[in-house]
Structure 1
Amino acid sequence: MSPITNTNDLIAFCDLLKTAPFITVDTEFMRETTYWPKLCLIQAASSDHAGIIDPLARDLDLKPFLDILADEKILKVFHACRQDMEIFFNLGVTPAPVFDTQVAAMAAGYGDQVAYDSLVRQKLKIDIDKGSRFTDWTRRPLSEQQLQYALGDVTHLAKVYIRLRDRLAREGRLDWVSEEMKALSHPSLYSTSPEDAWKRLKPRKNSVKYMAVFAQVAAWRERTAQERDMPRGRILKDEGVDEIATQTPTDSAAFDHLRSTSKGFGASKFGQELADIIRATLKNPDAYAPKVEKTAPPVQVPASVVELLKVLLRIRCEEEGVAPKLLATVSDLEKIALDDDADVPALHGWRRKVFGEDALRLKRGELALVLNGTRVEVVELD
């Protein structure tokens, strides 16, 4: 199959997809040396049609396909969609509605973050040749092996989706994943605003001065990486943001005495820009510090209760055939151990019915975990 390289052919392909209730979508991209992912291929398929779109082609306008992604009458099916969604968000559209087969597989008992090739093997009994996965997708022409690999990502996915959907529907579990699917289309997940860059890091202090510099340095790094299309780490490592916020160097030469900056950083344009930003920030830290809610002092989590909850979680997941991560995280269990009214997903909706209510009953002494031979069982207590 030849890739679609002109707008007229893309319009014709999209006309075939417009009436489909769902399409499967995948991308091939490269970003090892860039900030922005370089989109190299888009693959899409319905139950009846499949195609490969070449976004690097000079005579191609992607708008017809982007319109399909925005069409709320068509479900867009991905596997592990986060990076694909980010790419399309950067092109001006957030696909919706979406269905992520990796998330759905968790509800169907295939484990946490199951790989695509593993899911295809389990559902379709097909072994995918992964030889083309890490090839250079920017080079043209693409080989027949690369094209077949790329196309298989969406044609197999269409079959996997139908089987997963039907199984979850039979078991009454489609609602289990509906909230997660809606969240995947929320634009905030894919925002690259420099002003929000500090939120992806872990500040070690909460003083106004530290947080003001921390946020401004993170924003400078994000903005610089975007403008130069370079990975963040090549501008400044994560630990560098923290060290600079702690040391607050106001002279560019001072950067050369830090452990996290490269030799010559102070004399570079980066060092001079950053020194100017820090000096301006320190003149009025209150104006630059992000509003961060002060957290209460950490409370000692009862480790023994958390361990009991982990055992209960494992038992319920085995009984229900669902991945533990979809029900509750370790952080959720720690919060439940401390508070019966903890605001965690495990104590709301279907998760509460499957696990949360029993977790509270275990804490109240209404349930017990007993060893029956080699099995741990849950028993009711009078």
Structure 2
Amino acid sequence: MTIITDSVSLATLCDKLTKEPFICIDTEFIREKTYWPKLCLVQISGPKGEPFAIDPLHEGIDLSPLFSLMINSKIVKVLHAARQDIEIFLHLIGQLPNPIFDTQVAAMVCGFGESASYEHLARKIADARIDKSSRFSDWSGRPLEKRQLKYALSDVIHLPRIYLTLKKRLAETGRESWIAKEMAALGKQETYITEPKTAWKKIKTRGASSRTLAVLRELAAVREEWAILYDLPRQHVIRDQSLLAISVSQPTTMEELVRVRGLKGTLTKGKLVSSMLKAIERGKNLKLEKYPETPRKPDNHPASPAVVDLLKVLLKVRCDENSIAAPLVAKNSDLIEIAAGLEKNSVLTGWRRKVFGEDALKLIRGQLSLRVNNGEVHIHTSCEKKN
């Protein structure tokens, strides 16, 4: 097991990997007490699967050759469930790694189901068993144990074979475009960065009024800025539940503010209290036209629950037949809209229409039926049009 702890060895490895068409990357990090994930280990391999571990915590190591490798547009970066890994590099480099290939996304249209784990793909494609007993180790501790390194390196040993297998299947089935949107999202900074003014959208508002949302938007922005500034998890600054309670009660003094359940001991002094009170005032003083829109509720459409349930069965059958994960084809909100007769829907365009959308329309028009025979669901299409 090779672990790199010095700048010269890292530069030599990265220089070697710049000649490869793709590299495989994984990381180990901790995030329980910080806003940004703290990078503790980087695992990397080339097309042959020879693994290396890079210790970013070792004193004096210069990671710039690794960062240059990550943004080299001539080399495909292969990761599994890539979002958190990419977020780490975006924070450290200030740029997104590119181009990216996420094997979990690709697996969704290659017959491996929704959110296929790396262990599942390693077993199915490489006939390998991964020992996950070290998964929740303290990766910031040094020295790392052999069992930790063995586990960490296993995450890139089989990744080249998984990548090449999935890439071949995508080419053979012509399904590269089916996951283009999901892959493209990995290359957008907004996927990883929460702007303070939009942070309120991550909070479950449970039917809050527009006036409450106006205050919540201001408060959530303050919390986001505070969390970033002091590198603290949002919930360590103020919990969502408390933030929503403040938005409803809209206190005007520190004494009133600290009476909110869950705040005692966390908001008793300092600039945060002042910032919170000013945020409440800003939200209260907004003009009506400046209020945020209440979140759209797609299930408000007049759709029969029974029809939605039938569409779910049809979706499951068609996705199983086509070896594709159902959530990639249609969300529950899509099914509700289709059941309600709304036809401006992404499910009714492109490849999704061919896989499921056309049959979904036939079902609600009475031109298609579902039958059970010998314990299996069968689809029957009628040539007769129903009015």
TM-score (norm 2): 0.91
Whole-Å Cα distance in 2 between the matches of residues 6 and 50 of structure 1? 17
> How many residues end up aligned between the 2 structures?
379
Whole-Å Cα distance in 2 between the matches of residues 26 and 69 of structure 1? 12
The equivalent of 2:363 in structure 1 is 362
Structure 2 residue ranges without an equivalent (≥5): none
Code of the residue aligned with 1:35 in structure 2: it is: Y
Whole-Å Cα distance in 2 between the matches of residues 375 and 76 of structure 1? 42
Q: 1:287 to 1:185 in 2, by over 3 A?
A: farther
The equivalent of 2:185 in structure 1 is 183
Alpha-carbon offset, residue 225 of structure 1: 1.6
The equivalent of 2:101 in structure 1 is 99
Say if 2:213 and 2:294, in contact at 8 Å, map to a contact too: no
Say if 1:265 and 1:271, in contact at 8 Å, map to a contact too: no
The equivalent of 1:136 in structure 2 is 138
SS at match of 2:197: helix
Alpha-carbon offset, residue 289 of structure 1: 4.9
Q: 1:318 to 1:280 in 2, by over 3 A?
A: closer
TM-score (norm 1): 0.92
Alpha-carbon offset, residue 36 of structure 1: 1.4
Whole-Å Cα distance in 2 between the matches of residues 246 and 362 of structure 1? 44
Code of the residue aligned with 2:133 in structure 1: it is: G
Code of the residue aligned with 2:378 in structure 1: it is: E
Say if 1:255 and 1:265, in contact at 8 Å, map to a contact too: no
Alpha-carbon offset, residue 340 of structure 1: 4.2
Matches within 5 A, 1:1-382: 1-48=1-48, 49-91=50-92, 92-204=94-206, 207=209, 209-259=211-261, 261-265=262-266, 267-269=268-270, 270-282=272-284, 284-286=285-287, 289=290, 291-292=292-293, 295=296, 298-344=300-346, 346-382=347-383
CA deviation vs aligned residue, 1:286-323 (integer Å, no higher than 9, x gap): 39956437858923321121111111111111211222
Alpha-carbon offset, residue 27 of structure 1: 0.4
Whole-Å Cα distance in 1 between the matches of residues 54 and 279 of structure 2? 43
CA deviation vs aligned residue, 1:217-262 (integer Å, no higher than 9, x gap): 1011111122222221121111122111111111111123322x23
SS at match of 2:268: coil
Whole-Å Cα distance in 2 between the matches of residues 285 and 208 of structure 1? 11
Q: 1:372 to 1:343 in 2, by over 3 A?
A: same
Whole-Å Cα distance in 2 between the matches of residues 182 and 265 of structure 1? 40
Alpha-carbon offset, residue 266 of structure 1: 5.1
CA deviation vs aligned residue, 1:315-348 (integer Å, no higher than 9, x gap): 111211222112112121111112342323x222
CA deviation vs aligned residue, 1:137-180 (integer Å, no higher than 9, x gap): 11122222222221111111111111222223223323322221
Alpha-carbon offset, residue 54 of structure 1: 1.4
Code of the residue aligned with 2:19 in structure 1: it is: T
Say if 2:213 and 2:292, in contact at 8 Å, map to a contact too: no
SS at match of 2:377: strand
Code of the residue aligned with 1:311 in structure 2: it is: V
Q: 1:334 to 1:281 in 2, by over 3 A?
A: closer
Could you tell me the percent identity over the aligned residues?
Answer: 42
Whole-Å Cα distance in 2 between the matches of residues 263 and 8 of structure 1? 51
SS at match of 1:72: coil
Whole-Å Cα distance in 1 between the matches of residues 368 and 10 of structure 2? 60
Runs of 4 or more, structure 1, over 4 Å off, are 204-208, 287-291, 293-297
Say if 1:205 and 1:211, in contact at 8 Å, map to a contact too: no
Whole-Å Cα distance in 2 between the matches of residues 363 and 36 of structure 1? 47
Alpha-carbon offset, residue 212 of structure 1: 2.5
Q: 1:321 to 1:295 in 2, by over 3 A?
A: closer
Indicate the RMSD between aligned Cα atoms, in angstroms: 2.2
SS at match of 1:57: coil
Say if 2:218 and 2:282, in contact at 8 Å, map to a contact too: no
Whole-Å Cα distance in 1 between the matches of residues 228 and 289 of structure 2? 21
Code of the residue aligned with 1:322 in structure 2: it is: I
Alpha-carbon offset, residue 30 of structure 1: 0.3
Q: Bigger CA drift: 264-273 or 133-142?
A: 264-273
Whole-Å Cα distance in 2 between the matches of residues 205 and 340 of structure 1? 24
SS at match of 1:132: coil
SS at match of 2:77: strand
Say if 2:109 and 2:178, in contact at 8 Å, map to a contact too: yes
Q: 1:229 to 1:307 in 2, by over 3 A?
A: same
Code of the residue aligned with 2:180 in structure 1: it is: S
Alpha-carbon offset, residue 25 of structure 1: 0.8
SS at match of 1:140: coil
